[in-house]
Structure 1
Amino acid sequence: MSQQNRLAFLDALRGLAAVYVVLFHVMAMPVPALATGSVLGAVLAMGGTGVALFFIISAFSLAYTMPRHARAPRPLLSFYLHRVFRIAPLFFVLLAFSIWRDGRGSHPGHPVTEILANVTFTFNLFDGWETGIVWASWAIGVEMLFYAVFPLLFRIIDTPLRAWAAAGLATLASGLAMSGLLGAGGLDAVTAYGLLRHLPVFLYGIAAYHLFNALITVPAATAHRYCLAALVAGSVLLVALVVGSAQAVVGPGAGWVLFGAAYAAVLMGLSRFPVRLLVNRVTTWLGQVSYSLYLGHPIVVALLMPVFRRIYAAVPQPDLAWLACAALTLAIALPLAQLGYRVIEVPGIRAGHRVLAALNARRAQPAQGANRSE
């Protein structure tokens, strides 16, 4: 998304999603997990659903920027090049580090075929490799599969009615697969890394985009009422899901889809009601560095685990001890995320723009020569 066309509420939600995942991993990555009080623990236990919010935002953002790609000389090339140069540079840097890390000491390292699967972003398609070599990169594998089919989906799902119908059908298919009614193949498709588990969530993002566009044409007061209702409903559903998950009333599969629906509702609400507590300079900045924060923070957490144990030994109250660990993690991870964004992500994005411009210029040259010869 170009800088001048960025939507502040999307950046803010992206940043909050990344921080939620970080806070979850501060608690969950150490073995055994860090102790917390029951209320804080219930909230943190759902931090992994921050990735569902990432997927919602990703689908919305892709749909929001797709008309710009459609105006380019070669729309599909524009779309895919922007995606590759947005994702690949940072991923490849961390992939190189991870291969070096995992090939040292007693660790056997990774076979060439697994490395190639990661380089080509196809690792989600291979049993046992779905998590990716880079820590937390399983979400990148799922995203890349969605990117591959997105232009076709966007062409087919071109109205609000079709968007909600597609989201409903995907939700139904996912539910049937989780129930076992679609057989072993269906169960495989809704594992933690299966695309059918996440497809409804992506489609909620596309549906939210179409609703966002549709609300532009209705009276402002009406749009505000709808968005306020969505914000309240989504917030209430999030609280209910946290409580239900803590009490094992909501299962992980159905809960993932329901969290996706709740996040989509909150996104729609914030599009007209950007609550200052959630949408502000800090959270929008977090959104800018969220990709580097997401991929880089597991390394920081892993290195800090011995320090976490010392903090817990010194601070008897579990919630306060966890807060100290979280604050320390963010104090280190956020500057590194800013560095990754400035040094790797931004140059990568600019390189993508240059490559696309060069390819378009090369294509235009023969056409210009043909015109001169006529």
Structure 2
Amino acid sequence: MEAARFYAASSIMLFHLTVMSDLPTNILSIYILNYAAMGVPLFFIISAMGMCIGYFGKLETEGSIKDFYMRRFLRIATFFYVMMLLYIIMLPVFGDSGPTLGQFLASATFTMNLVPSYVEGYVWGSWTIGVEMIFYLLFPVLIVLASNLRRALVIFIGATVLATLWRNEFVDVKGPLQSFGNFFIVVQFHYFAAGIVAFHVWRIAVRLCPARVRLIGLILLVISCAATVSLVVFGFWLIFAAGVFTSWKLNHTIVYFLWATVLATFTIGMCLAPTKLLSSSLVCHWGRASFGIYLWHPPVIAGYSKLGIYRAIFALANENAEVSFLLGALLTFATVVPLSLASFRFIEKPGMALLQLKHGRGAGQPERGGSR
């Protein structure tokens, strides 16, 4: 699961490299632009599944629920508040006046997802944190409602249809309401629901003998990777065909359902059959710092663009768009990962240890449930 988080964070970083840097467009970046943003839904699925693994059957008392909320808050808030302060200093450098009082308060209270004008947050990419925090708030109820696979599937299917209906209402809307239509929890919730379904499938699978568990995991990994390639290659035609044979207002339901299913299948496979190829100790180590990778990469990309670093790489690569993009991606990765590992060690881990110290437990005790 830690490795899967790393892949999700890296995918989002590559997506933002295509839209935020001044590297020239190329065949590789076009595919990344169209599909790498699916790293966000993968994050949501991993988050839901990880929390179910950590908390299923354990949120039955007032004390355990309070403990859960405090853990979730500390998991996100400690590092996020540091980034909020950094952005106040950094934004004027990029020609932005900085956050208004309303933007600052919405981000500080994690309520930006509920306010159309503030839904994106002033920390770049923080709209997902607003979504995540609402999911945390709802989780103790959801884990009761989706107590088995059948109930979880019903919630997932219903949430997928609701996401389509919601987005259809914002098709012709512009400005802040367009972002609200795309980022509000209603249009993202089916991915969390898919993560809960993934948990119940995983829970059933792990009861089998170890050899069969690993075989099932490998099969799911192969299926999910093949399905991902198919969705990338044939995604446009799938949407078109769905519109012809079903309804143009509901055709995206099929696509949402398929992507959520494929990403959930990938996550289950990663958990059932961790392989050295996909889940090496180094990748898992980087995955623990995935929250930092997610928050550090936008200012790094913007900074390198402002300094002309990517343009220099393009020149050094003899103006080869594909080569310069790969070199730019490697440079960004080589910068973001060390920053993320440092912030995880010196900011995130001490923040998560605060609750353990309050209860008199050692700071080294692992946290229940998944990180972002």
User: Same fold judged by TM-score > 0.5?
Assistant: yes
CA distance 1:84–1:302, change in 2 (3 Å): same
Which digits, 9 at most, give the CA deviation of each residue in 1:90-136, with x for residues without a partner? 10000011123335686333221221111000011111211111111
**Counterpart for residue 266 of structure 1:** 266
**Counterpart for residue 348 of structure 2:** 345
Contact 2:156 2:194 survives alignment (8 Å): yes
DSSP 3-state at the match of 2:182: coil
Which digits, 9 at most, give the CA deviation of each residue in 1:139-168, with x for residues without a partner? 101101111111100011111111112111
CA distance 1:71–1:180, change in 2 (3 Å): closer
Which digits, 9 at most, give the CA deviation of each residue in 1:307-344, with x for residues without a partner? 10111122132111111111111111111111100110
Query: Which residue, out of 101, 126, 147, partners 2:90?
Result: 101
Whole-angstrom distance in 2 between the partners of 1:254 and 1:102: 40
The 5-angstrom pairing of residues 188-207 of structure 1 reads 191-207=181-197
**Counterpart for residue 16 of structure 2:** 25
DSSP 3-state at the match of 2:268: helix
Displacement of 1:270 after TM fit? 2.1
Which digits, 9 at most, give the CA deviation of each residue in 1:337-356, with x for residues without a partner? 11100110010001132235
Is 1:355–2:365 an aligned residue pair?
no
Whole-angstrom distance in 2 between the partners of 1:253 and 1:308: 38
Amino acid in structure 2 at the alignment position of 1:297: H
Contact 2:160 2:253 survives alignment (8 Å): no
CA distance 1:178–1:74, change in 2 (3 Å): same
Displacement of 1:181 after TM fit? 11
Whole-angstrom distance in 1 between the partners of 2:132 and 2:235: 25
**Counterpart for residue 286 of structure 1:** 286
Whole-angstrom distance in 2 between the partners of 1:296 and 1:256: 28
**Counterpart for residue 48 of structure 1:** 37
Is 1:160–2:160 an aligned residue pair?
no
Contact 1:52 1:256 survives alignment (8 Å): no
Is 1:227–2:227 an aligned residue pair?
no
Contact 2:239 2:255 survives alignment (8 Å): no
Contact 2:8 2:40 survives alignment (8 Å): yes
Runs of 5+ unmatched residues, structure 1:
1-9, 359-374
**Counterpart for residue 61 of structure 1:** 50
**Counterpart for residue 310 of structure 2:** 308
TM-score, scaled relative to structure 1: 0.83
CA RMSD of aligned residues (A): 2.9
Whole-angstrom distance in 1 between the partners of 2:277 and 2:219: 18
Whole-angstrom distance in 1 between the partners of 2:329 and 2:345: 24
The alignment-based identity, stated in percent, is: 28
Displacement of 1:276 after TM fit? 1.9
**Counterpart for residue 6 of structure 2:** 15
Amino acid in structure 1 at the alignment position of 2:279: V
Whole-angstrom distance in 2 between the partners of 1:88 and 1:80: 12
Which digits, 9 at most, give the CA deviation of each residue in 1:186-210, with x for residues without a partner? x979822021211111001011111
CA distance 1:310–1:214, change in 2 (3 Å): same
CA distance 1:254–1:137, change in 2 (3 Å): farther
CA distance 1:273–1:135, change in 2 (3 Å): same
- Of the two, which has the highest radius of gyration? 1
Whole-angstrom distance in 2 between the partners of 1:303 and 1:181: 33
**Counterpart for residue 246 of structure 2:** none
DSSP 3-state at the match of 1:100: helix
Amino acid in structure 2 at the alignment position of 1:280: S
Contact 1:90 1:344 survives alignment (8 Å): yes
CA distance 1:253–1:77, change in 2 (3 Å): same
Whole-angstrom distance in 1 between the partners of 2:55 and 2:140: 8
Range that drifts further, 270-279 or 172-181: 172-181
**Counterpart for residue 318 of structure 1:** 321
Displacement of 1:75 after TM fit? 1.1
Range that drifts further, 204-213 or 95-104: 95-104
Amino acid in structure 2 at the alignment position of 1:151: P
* Number of aligned residue pairs: 345
